[in-house]
Each structure stands twice: as C-alpha cells, then as structure tokens.
A and B are shown apart, each in its own frame.
Chain A
Amino acid sequence: MVAGGGDTFDVVVVGSGVVGAACAYELALAGRHVLVVDRGGLAAGTTASGEGNVLVSDKPPGPELDLARASVARWADYAAQLSEPFEYDPKGGVVVATDDAGRAPLADLVARQRDVGLAAELVDGAGLRTLEPHLAADLELGAHYPDDAQVQPVLASSALLADARRLGAEVRGHCDVLGFVHDRDGRVAGVRTTQGTVGAGAVVNAAGPWATAVARLAGSDLPVRPRRGHLLVTVPLAPTVHHKVYEAGYVDTLTADTTDAQVSAVVESTPSGTILLGSSRELVGFDTTVDLAVVRRIAARARRLFPVLADVDLLRVYTGLRPWVPDHLPIVGEDPAVRGLWHATGHEGAGIGLAPATGQLIRAGITDTPPPVDPLPFRVGRPGLRPAPVEAAARG
C-alpha cells in the first residue's frame, strides 16, 4: 500500500536495530499493529557492529543496573520463546584488575553490587586461571559475574522482528523517514517516508545515534551524539576464552568524555569460534573510518590479558557508532514537546543488553500498563540531558 488513509498503524517504530526490534516485539505482544521502518538494511547500524553484550557487571547500583537486571531476565525469556535462535549464551563475565590502582575500585564495586543482591564474586589469581586458563600469569585479582550473557545482535534483532511479524507487524527496510505528520493539536499522527506516508497513533524513535536527527524532523531535539568504537575479530580457533573478560579500566572508559580514543581490553569468544577484541570509545562525529593506530592499541591491550593471542590471526575490524548521551543513561519515554513521539535511544554501548527492558518500558508507556522498572530516571525531559553541540548531531 502507498500513501493514503489505508496505510495506518497503531505504532511506527523508526529503526530496526535491537532496540527498535524489542519495542516492536513487545508492542506486538500487547496486540498493537506495528510497522518498523529502517532507512537501511535490517539491524544494519549500531546493532550490526556490537559485541552482543548483555551485562550487569559493568554497572554500579542505580537505575541502569535495574534496567539491566530486568533485561537479563527478559533475554532468557526470549531465548525460550522466540522461533529463531540467536546464539544466546549466559556464560558469565570476568573482570580483571590489570594494575595495582585497579584493585581497590574493583573490590569496592563488587561490594556495592553485592549489597543490592547482584551475583558477584571476587577471585584471586588462582581463581582467575581456573575460570580462564590462558589469562596472563601476573594477573592477581578479578571478579566473576555469573549473570553476564551474550547474544548475536543481528540474529537477536532479526529473531525479534520475525516473531513480531508473526504477530502482525510489518517491517520495511530501505525506507527512510522524511518528516512527521501532526494533527491539529501538534500530536504525531504519522510519518512521511520514501515509501509514502503512513498514519500512526504513536511513533517510537529507536534510531540510535541518528535519533537526534529523527527528533528534529518532528520539531523536537535530543542530546544524542555518535561515539565511535572499534571491534577486532580473530580467525576461528579452539575454545580459548570462556567468559566475557575485560579489564577493570573498561568501566572508566564508559564515562570518560574525551575526544581521544579510550581503549581498554574486552575479550570474548563467539559460538562461531572467533574471538572479539574491544574496545575503543571516541567522540569523532559520524566518522566510521578504521583508525589503524587504535586497532594496534586494542590488539596490545588484548595481548596484555591473553598473551596467547599474539599467535592468532586478526580477521576483521569494524567500527560502529554508539548513541552517547551526556549523563550516560538511556532515554526512554514520551517526548514532552511532541506528544505521540516516544524515544528509545541513548544506550551507548549497552543497547543490546538493555533492549528487552527498554521495549517493555515503551510497551508499558504506550499501553498504559505497569512498567518493569521505574521509568522516571530515563524520562526525556530530565535535567541531565544538556543540549549537545549542534554540529556533532548532524545526520551522518
């Protein structure tokens, strides 16, 4: 169907990444007639360049940890319910202090997480090497988080979309949103797309780093900016790394807002036998160039954790853009400036992990049913969302 009154949905979700897919699936479960549009291929943006982290370990007690714990539970539901598999692996995480300065903060974080009931265990050098036999011999303190998990992000998104379709949803790839249709009160009533105009009772902006541009099309604004990351992939090899393993400094790079590349080691294997090596975080706009110098730094950090990697071949490198926000909390909720426009973005590097509970929050908001966690910390108009410089938010 093309433009006209017939092409109408209860909800249009903009973005087919994991967040948009989870929103679509949750809304379809609630009986809503959903359309998902994506200007590119399905899950081809931020989701396609992520490791597939479903993490509780990297979050101190607070609203994001609450969202993460709700999500971890929901991912397990998805693994049991969805028709298509997506390499769900609840393998647990291991955090390693790579220098003396990292030991006290790690012990402190574990203590605070245990206070709120999170499964977290400090381990000594011998314990580390029982969990991960190939870790460098001089590493002496770490923490084990059995609740950390991993999914293959694109498979997870396509599995959510596939089941959303079975529940009546429609998905249109290579369909770009050009503008919004508003009713007399200014409320969102639809979107204009490259494939025609579509009526909608509500629109969910799940466009990740591009969410600011989508918000502006509706006459609103968001402080979401792109933050580039590099990811290295090795050739497949025999099981060598058994958990998601990262250095304790990783948590600091999450919140260091410099333009210089922040690099810390994140190492994990995938069911296909490859090992993923991260990570970097750089505020460089929509530039997705591979920086060979950053690649070499990531390789060096990864070899610091696992010296055996020196003899392993690097097969691929890719960069992705994560949706950064000033206060490092996802933005989930209705836009107070444009009613009927809902945002589900700003998850930075945690979008895969936080997608299910984000979808549940959007579902609860739109269907006016009880939310999985308190939605207030994630609301759109909160004070922590200072406006970002205009040039960085230009659409890439």
Chain B
Amino acid sequence: MDDLRVGDEDPRGLTRGAPVDVTFDGEPVVAFEGESVAAALLAADVRATRTTRRGGRPRGLFCGIGACHDCLVRVDGSGPVRACLTPVRDGMAVTSHVLGAGGPA
C-alpha cells in the first residue's frame, strides 16, 4: 500500500533517503530518511493523528507547513510537535497526541 509516494512519475527524478523503522501508537510504519512524520503516516494510511480535547474530533495533516498545529503528535515521549515539520528518525516512536489529556498530569 505504497501508492501515495510518487515514483517514476515524478519529473524531478526523485530518489528517497534510506528506509527507516518508525512506529505510530506501537504499529510499525515504513518511512524513508528525509520524510516528515506527517508524510510517513499519510503514506501508511494514517489520516487521524490525534483527537481534539473538547469534541474528541479526529485531526490530521491540514496546512502542511507548520501554521495550523492540527498535526501535533508526540515523539519518543516528548511534548507535542508538529508532524509536518518533524523529520523521521530510525527507531522513532510516534504517538497520537491528545491535547489537554497529555502534558504533566
């Protein structure tokens, strides 16, 4: 199920970085070095990367450039980060971030 990554159709002749292993909420996700967490999750068919704190609404990638903060996730237990701006790293554990239910408690 890797049909979202553009292959030979890319007129730029794009070559991705080396494959790395990432998990999302414990499930393995295939990713390539240089990809953002958001792109890697999208390619793995993960659309909702968190739920909202009031209405429990699912949210995912929206603006894609770091402005909207809809794509917040946690990385290796960190505070919330924007998945669209955060590059994947081998061994990275990404978890869905629930605003307001996370943080020190």
Chain A interface residues toward B at CB < 8 A: 134, 235-240, 273, 308, 311-313
Residues of A within 8 A of B101 (CB): 238
Q: How far is the CB of A256 from chain B (nearest CB, A)?
A: 32
Chain B residues contacting A236 (CB-CB under 8 Å) are: 53, 99-100
Give the residues in chain A near B105, CB-CB below 8 Å.
Answer: 237-240
Interface of B is mostly: loop
Give 17 pairs: A residue, B residue, CB < 8 Å, sorted on A.
A235-B99, A235-B103, A236-B53, A237-B99, A237-B103, A237-B104, A238-B100, A238-B101, A238-B105, A239-B105, A240-B104, A273-B53, A273-B100, A308-B104, A311-B79, A312-B79, A312-B103
**Shortest Cβ distance from B80 into chain A, in angstroms?**
7
5 smallest CB-CB distances across A and B, nearest first, come from: A237-B103, A238-B105, A308-B104, A236-B100, A273-B100
Any A CB within 8 A of the CB of B7: no
Q: How far is the CB of B6 from chain A (nearest CB, A)?
A: 34
Q: Give which listed residue, B53, B79, B99, B103, contacts A240 with CB less than 8 A.
A: B103
Cβ-defined partner of A311 (8 Å) among B53, B100, B104: B104
Known pairs A235-B80, A236-B100, A313-B80. 6 more at Cβ < 8 A?
A: A235-B103, A238-B102, A238-B105, A240-B105, A311-B79, A312-B103
Residues of B within 8 A of A240 (CB): 103-105
- CB within 8 Å of A: which of B48-104? 53, 79-80, 99-104
**For A239, what are the chain B residues with a Cβ–Cβ distance below 8 Å?**
105
| Residues of the A chain whose Cβ atoms lie less than 8 Å from the Cβ of B100 | 236-238, 273
List of B residues within 8 angstroms of A311 by Cβ:
79, 103-104
Residue of A whose beta carbon sits closest to that of B99: A236
Q: If the complex has contacts A311-B79, A312-B79, are A134 and B53 also in contact, measured as CB distance less than 8 A?
A: no
Shortest CB–CB separation between residue A269 and chain B, in angstroms? 11
Inter-chain CA distance A240–B104, complex, in Å, is: 6
When chains A and B are docked, how far (Å) is the Cα of A239 from the Cα of B104? 8
